Structure 1
Amino acid sequence: MTPRFLIADDHPLVRAALSETLRRRWPEAELLEAADFDSVMARLAPADPLASDPEVDLVLLDLTMPGSNGLMGLMLLRAHAPTVPVAVVSAQEDAETVRRARAFGAAAFIPKSASVETIQEAIAAILRGDLVAPETAAPADADDHDLYRRLATLSPQQLRVLAMIGEGKLNKQICFELGIAEQTVKAHASQIFRKLGVVSRTQAALVMNRLTPSGL
């Protein structure tokens, strides 16, 4: 089977380097690229909605690309395409980011500082169905698991609304950007508050901020 990889990074040099790394190990691979998060989501939309196989075998995701909103991008990808594994490839290598990326569904966390061989072996492991993390990575703690459990109850649209609430956008701005009625935004917000166990936009924004570790 010819693997299909989606390289999601806003830096052309990084995309080129990852493409070369993949080509060396999988010369027959089909390589797709995306420079912003909207393009990632569009790439993952199946050409045939009735197809049982995913269009992409692995996403290599940069957490800081435009529109990703840190780990919120990972959550959206997992909700939008739950059968497609996502490897976070990041220059942000602190323990908190690694731990939360794993807790929120990343199949791997690959530091951008890793060697070509390390990246290739990590990707090969993912294609075999294994989970990969740096040897120094700490296990996810109870708070991480609880936050992921609550966020996982949100629909993809509710995750988008939460991301915009975290950015401080008003209901009118959200309904304009998402192309939905303001009453629908209010209904989503109400469901978000209930599922997250918060009572205000400020508290919801604080939850959203936990998805963007310091430095992302």
Structure 2
Amino acid sequence: MKKDAKSTKKKSRMRLLHQYYSYTGFYKFVGKSVKKAIIPILLFIGAILALDYFVLDLNKLLITVTETYSPAGIISVFFASESLLGLIPPELFIAWAGKSAYPIFYLSLLAAASYLGGIVSYFGGVGITKIPAVHRAIEVNMAKHIKNTRKWGGFLIIVGALLPIPYAMTSIAAGIIRFPFMSFLMFGLLRFVRFYAYALVIFEMV
């Protein structure tokens, strides 16, 4: 009887969550995000193939980069990007890792840099709330993102970690609303899943 009661309670809670996310437009938001994400991914793949076929040997270019610049320098640049607004597409760095001496090792370092960059962005969001003028400006520019983070919390962080949308912005919004830090760390681990999943495709291409 107790198990049945627990099972019913769990189903009721899941049903209520489903209704809430349906009512607030979470599923629609995810659908739009996926559609938006697919286009840049396809464009990126097309650009790489076109660049490799018509302009230059991409393999040679990536090998040149690995021979010219130190891995520490490249990963530092990526970490800086992921700590700000995710200005440089991670796919470029994943392609670099694929041509490095130790692809999985450097891919893991990139994923860790992205994860740590999200933490820096989170605390950046927390810090912003302590500067009224900056806080007001950021809330205007990121109003929709902050509103969505308040509504959907952890689920939006999961989407930000997995989909090719700037993870830094999601992290900043999480910091601004003071989303529980330990939960943020846990959901952010999905960033590693994203990097390994994308590497399966990009490593084959380059």
Q: Shorter-chain-normalised TM-score: which range?
A: under 0.3
Q: Hey, which of these two has a bigger chunk of strand by percent?
A: 1
Q: Which has the higher contact order (CA 8 A, sep 6+)?
A: 2
Q: Hey, which of these two has a bigger chunk of helix by percent?
A: 2
Q: TM-score, normalised by structure 1?
A: 0.25
Q: TM-score, normalised by structure 2?
A: 0.26
Larger-gyration structure (1/2): 2
